[in-house]
Amino acid sequence: MPGAVLAGSVAVITGGASGIGRALAERFAAEGARGVVVADRDGARAAAVADGLACEVRLGLALDVTDSDAVRAAVDRVESEIGEIDLWCSNAGVPTGAGLGEDSDWDLAWRVHVMAHVYAARHVLPRMVERGRGHFMVTASAAGLLTEMDTAPYSVTKHGSVALAEWLAIRHGSSGVGFSCLCPQAVRTPMTAGFGADSATLAAGGLIEPTEVANAVMAALAEGRFLILPHPEVAEYERRRAGDRDRWLAGMRRLRADLDTRREA
Ligand SMILES: NC(=O)c1ccc[n+]([C@@H]2O[C@H](COP(=O)([O-])OP(=O)(O)OC[C@H]3O[C@@H](n4cnc5c(N)ncnc54)[C@H](O)[C@@H]3O)[C@@H](O)[C@H]2O)c1
């Protein structure tokens, strides 16, 4: 969907029952999408969010994005009942695993932040590629470009989300299908609501609203841009990291030490 206009389109948003996904669903409906599908493992909340959308066709779907067969069935159902999917936002995510985490944290983070995007790509992309149009967006995180110092499973798997989105954009970007990778820092959602003031995510500063993320997504879709940075300063942080890795690591160690001091105080 390069130079995207939402008018008349069909959009699916996973993790759409809350936070960023909900803001995207509401914005797409307000921009004139014909059909908006709110897919979430919490089917009741997905239905409630869908019910409030101002579009012609709305559907709340109970969907676990880590279940490949369920993702295939959801794609089949949306395309047969509502119409061809123009925009798939692979957005569901989990805040999992403090520190190095347990094996179960790694397993969950890998399945939600990497395999879920693989399943979505397997089931929805061939249809878009065959039609020569559509847009596939992955919600990663600034943690996937930089790091999130509180949790290794989250940071490492979000790097995986970014890498997969890049791979897909290279492999299929000439097909007429557009690709985007959304990489916010802190956003005020239920995910960050439980974080203390000493959290590394909040310490990074700039807690923004989900509606601001939706603004950034709309602008990027209109421009057909891959990387979506609702916090523009992340581009500079990424440049610094790439430019002098040792200096960047030293700066991050200082920030880590500051946070530890704050925690002990
Ligand atoms: N909030 C932030 O500061 C922030 C920053 C960067 C990236 N992100 C990313 O943005 C995305 C949305 O996060 P949010 O802050 O809106 O969180 P949120 O907790 O408000 O919403 C996440 C939604 O994903 C759903 N979900 C989780 N696992 C699922 C699964 N297996 N199948 C289907 N749905 C599932 C949850 O039920 C929830 O409704 C996530 O990928 C998150 O990692 C968030």
Cβ of 186 less than 6 Å from ligand 1: yes
What digits encode the pLDDT tens for the residues 122-153?
999 999 999 999 999 999 999 999 999 999 99
pLDDT reported for residue 260 = 84
* Nearest Cα residue to 144 out of 244, 212, 237: 237
- Band of the pLDDT at 264, cuts 50, 70, 90? confident
Residue of higher predicted confidence among 164 and 200: 164
Give, for ligand 1, the residue of 24, 27, 37, 40 to mutate: max count of ligand atoms closer than 8 Å to Cβ: 40
Global pTM reads 0.97
Cβ of 141 less than 6 Å from ligand 1: yes
CA 68 to chain centre: 18
What digits encode the pLDDT tens for the residues 31-68?
999 999 999 999 999 999 999 999 999 999 999 999 99
Does the pLDDT value for residue 3 go beyond 60? no
Cα gap 74→123, rounded to integer Å: 9
Q: What percent of the chain has pLDDT over 70?
A: 98
Cα gap 154→72, rounded to integer Å: 26
CATH code of the region 10-235 = 3.40.50.720
What digits encode the pLDDT tens for the residues 169-181?
999 999 999 999 9
CA 223 to chain centre: 18
Q: Which of 119, 154, 237, 248 is catalytic?
A: 154
Cα gap 75→160, rounded to integer Å: 23
What digits encode the pLDDT tens for the residues 4-26?
678 999 999 999 999 999 999 99
Cα gap 204→101, rounded to integer Å: 21
- Band of the pLDDT at 1, cuts 50, 70, 90? low
Q: Are 59 and 35 in contact (CB under 8 A)?
A: yes
Q: Which whole number is the average pLDDT over 224-247?
A: 97
pLDDT reported for residue 2 = 46
Indicate which atom in ligand 1 lies nearest the CA of residue 143: 6
Range scoring the smallest mean pLDDT among 133-147, 176-190, 193-207:
193-207
Mean residue pLDDT of the chain comes to 95
Q: Are 61 and 16 in contact (CB under 8 A)?
A: no
